[in-house]
Amino acid sequence: MGRKLELLLSFSVLFLASAEPQKNPHGSDIINENADFGTPEHDNRVHTELTKLDEKDVARLIAADYFNGSVLPCDNETAPGQWMVYCSGRLLQAVMAVKLYPDSKTFVDQPMKVNMTGELIMEEFDKRFPGSIEQYSKNEIGEFVDEFFDKDGHELDVCELPDWIPSPSKISQISDPTYHAFAQRLHFVWIQLCRKMKPEVKEDPSRFSILYVPHQFILPGGRFREFYYWDAYWIIKGLIGSQLYSTARNMIRNFAYIIDKHGMIPNGGRVYYLRRSQPPFFAPMVYEYYLATQDLQFVTDMIPAIEKEYTFWSTRRLVNVTVEDVLNETMHMFQYKTEAQTPRPESFREDVLSAEHFVSSARKRQFFQDIGSAAESGWDFSSRWFEEQTNLSTIETTNIVPVDLNAFMCYNMNILQFFYQLTGNPLKQLEWAARLRGFRDAFTKVFYVPSRKGWYDYNIRTGEHNTDFFPSNAAPLFSQCYDPLNSQLAVDVYNQMESSGAFALPGGIPTSLHKETHQQWDYPNGWSPLNHMIIEGLRKSINPTLQQKAFWLAEKWLETNMLTFNASNAMWEKYDVKEPDAKLATGGEYEVQAGFGWTNGAALDLILTYSDRLKYKGPVLEELVGSSSTIKATTYLSSKKLTNSTSSSPESSTTHSSSATTSRSPIIITIIAIITFYTF
């Protein structure tokens, strides 16, 4: 009884503390960090070319015909029961024209009500709202949506991790007490992010925009209430660090299921993502899982899916590149290039406003394709894709042959030849090894610039390389798409990045050195996958100096993560790395998001990589160290009972909300905790 009381008090203290608005490291409430989200001021800040328009002008713009003659994000072939609601049509335009929700993503995440179909809803909408949609009010459109759609965020249930262990042996071996406490806290975050599909999604999938998968998975967090593709690689790295091998395996099996059904892995788990993918990390996920478990049968089972995904990229995303400096030889390379030519449904209003000054329909279609292709890259948006650094309207993603995508495809080829060697198929191993050798040679010819001692994106319109710093320039170090015995090449690449000032910021590596773009994939924002890739690329080199540089960069990035976690009790999607203390990032189309799957995974992986070397030398982090035992004693209990007994999806909302705040009543939570505890 005494132990029960101790746990109960700890549980109550934890939730009483969490009822306070979380603070950023500079003292303001995090919810106000982007207080103008969803307002005209936000649109003007993000979309620099947007002229001042009144709401009638905006409604007329949104009501224009963007669909006739254009390739849609999903259609009757890819989403036969949903496309007319979530990827096209007057209803989608009407919701965006009246700005029914602050976040465009809210509507396209709402499921249709039971016994409703997309055809019936559109038939009823056309009957009630004939003529031009801009004549109808927000209340009228809102009443229709409430009648025919459920609220967003109710497709998923909270789930328990079947392989959960409170104190994994890997984490127990971390020598520094502060980093040990931090890793332990990260370990418990997985409980909060675990989700599984509700039965009705499998039974009646045409009511939902979400894509059904059979196994549970880890969400990124925040507004992202579905799986995302390249996020999952770093999530799986973290799950492996937490020794949650079954959970990691199930996430990979979900992707194999999606590949089997759709022939590719979409950007995320929604029908409106079905015409664009994300950086191809499925094979690396399987590879990391094999390294951790030595499960050869699983590799054998996954090889067909890896090959099928490779076929998607090699048939749908190839481009011929002719570089004058290599005797006009034409090479086949990969690029991000969605076929969709309309505004992205999840950002429909924003895309229309960004394209408002283009006159011709053809130019608008090209703009929307370039916007969607940038989203396929994962870098949405960055000056990396712009002809003019600060001007989103000059985006030309489909003219750019990206060094990182091709480095990742090189990695896929290498993994496939390794897997065929493992599974005893020498003919296939030789086939892929030969393909890898040829591709590495072409890769060097297209991307390596001797005078700049590095790899750089190639623009097929200008015939020139973009030699500005971006972390993507180091992707070949991560994927080892170069001769690993050529240690000087890796040194040259590091020196080039260092001389640009890319490693000079105290909080980590920025996404570019281009200032004033207001884009989230630019200066001063640092992202976990990019910092992790550079660190890993240097660590994998055979040069001891570069390996030490990797450790130095890991220390900086982890300290940023840890200080912000201590101040806000959350991990975040991205960070402002120009400040000596931790600060949340800004820029982009939505508020900075808490959670956050790939940030947790990358941090946990780096802590475990350097578990015997990391030493925290800063001031005592009372919030982090002082609460670790309470978290250990109570988080799993609250996850198993309290979350399931209140709301099946704590992210559910009809408006955009930040995970950094809570409206819970601490008294109610404590009462529920008492009831829950004694039924546990």
- Residues 589-619 have pLDDT tens digits of 545 445 689 999 999 999 999 999 999 998 8
Is it the case that residue 77 has pLDDT exceeding 80? yes
**Which runs of consecutive H residues, i.e. helices, occur in 384-486?**
403-422, 426-447, 475-479
On the question of pLDDT at 51 being above 70, the answer is no
Pairing mode, strands 458-459 and 454-455: unpaired
- The string over 284-306, giving b where at least 16 C-beta atoms fall within 10 Å of a residue's C-beta and e elsewhere, is bbbbbbbebeeeeeebeebbebb
- Joined tokens for residue 211: 């894509």
C-alpha to C-alpha distance for 87 and 569, rounded to whole angstroms: 37
pLDDT at 312: 99
**Which stretch of 145-159, 338-352, 659-673 has the lowest confidence by average pLDDT?**
659-673
For residues 67-76, give the mean pLDDT: 97
Strand order in the sheet with 458-459: 400-401, 458-459, 464-465
CA distance 531 to 537: 10
Q: With bands split at pLDDT 50, 70 and 90, how would you rate the model's confidence at 31? A: very low
Query: Residue 47: helix, strand or coil by DSSP?
Result: coil
More confident residue, 672 or 80: 80
CA distances (Å), origin 86, targets 5, 274, 543 = 50, 12, 51
Of 106-110, 258-262, 473-477, 664-668, the range with the lowest mean pLDDT is 664-668
Which pLDDT tens digit goes with each residue over 558-581?
999 999 998 888 899 999 999 866
Residue 670 has pLDDT above 80, yes or no: no
The alpha carbon of residue 642 and the mean position of all alpha carbons in its chain are separated, in whole angstroms, by 28
For residues 126, 128, 146, 82, the Cα torsion angle rounded to the nearest 10 degrees is -10
Q: How many residues does the chain have?
A: 680
Q: Which two tokens stand for residue 5?
A: 């009381």
Mean pLDDT value across residues 432-451 = 97
The lowest-confidence range among 10-14, 313-317, 576-580 is 10-14
d(CA 19, CA 45): 32
> What is the per-residue pLDDT across 240-254, written as a single tens digit (0 to 9) for each?
999 999 999 999 999
Q: Which long-range contacts (CB under 8 A, 24 or more apart) does 196-200 make?
A: 196/156, 196/157, 196/159, 197/155, 197/156, 197/157, 198/154, 198/155, 198/156, 198/157, 198/648
Span between the terminal Cα atoms of the chain, in Å: 14
Return the closest-CA partner of residue 186 out of 230, 226, 227, 221: 221
Lowest mean pLDDT among 80-84, 429-433, 576-580: 576-580
Confidence of residue 588 (pLDDT cuts 50, 70, 90): low
- In contact, 27 and 574? CB cutoff 8 Å: no
Question: What pLDDT score was predicted for residue 582?
Answer: 58
Task: For residue 67, give both structure tokens.
Answer: 């669909």
DSSP secondary structure of 298-348: HHHHHHHHHHHHHHHHHHHSEEEEE-GGGTT-EEEEE-------S--GGGH
**Alpha-carbon dihedral 440, 443, 444, 447, rounded to 10 degrees:** -160
Residue 651, φ and ψ in degrees, nearest 5 = -85, -10
Highest mean pLDDT among 14-23, 188-197, 577-586: 188-197
- Given a cut of 90, whether residue 627 has pLDDT beyond it is no
Domain ranges of the chain: 40-100+112-149+339-397, 468-618
Q: What are phi and psi of 420, to 5 degrees?
A: -70, -35
What backbone phi and psi angles, to 5 degrees, belong to 112? -70, 150
CB 528 within 8 A of CB 603: yes
Helix (H) or strand (E) holding 194: strand 194-197
Exposed / middle / buried, residue 152 (Cβ in 10 Å: 0-12, 13-18, 19+)? buried
**Residue entry with tokens 């050195």:** 513
> DSSP character for 281?
-
Assess contact for 321 and 406: CB atoms under 8 A. no
pLDDT mean across residues, the chain: 86
Residue 27: left if φ>0, alpha if ψ -120 to 50, beta else—which one?
left
Asked if residues 399 and 271 have their Cβ atoms less than 8 Å apart, the reply is no
Given the DSSP bridges, would you call strands 330-334 and 525-527 parallel, antiparallel or unpaired? Answer: unpaired
Give CA–CA dist 285/302, Å, rounded: 11
Neighbouring C-alpha atoms within 13 Å toward the C-beta of 623: 14
DSSP classification of residue 161: -
- Cβ(340)–Cβ(295) under 8 Å? no
CA dihedral 130, 343, 210, 412 (to 10 degrees): 160
Q: Specify whether the CB–CB gap between 336 and 228 falls below 8 A.
A: no
The reply to whether 498 belongs to the active site is no
Give the span between the Cα atoms of 591 and 111, in whole angstroms. 24
Residues 6+ apart with CB under 8 A from 215: 196, 250, 251, 253, 254, 257
Considering just the CA atoms, what is the radius of gyration of the chain in Å? 25
State how far the Cα of 156 lies from the Cα of 196, in Å rounded to an integer.
6
Q: Which of 152, 226, 288, 573 is catalytic?
A: 573
Among 109, 152, 380, 404, the active-site one is 380
How high is the pLDDT of residue 677? 30
Which one, of 467, 316, 337, 481, lies nearest residue 406 by Cα?
Answer: 481
Name the nearest CA neighbour of 447 among 439, 486, 388. Answer: 439
Mean pLDDT of 651-656: 35
- Is 380 annotated in the active site? yes
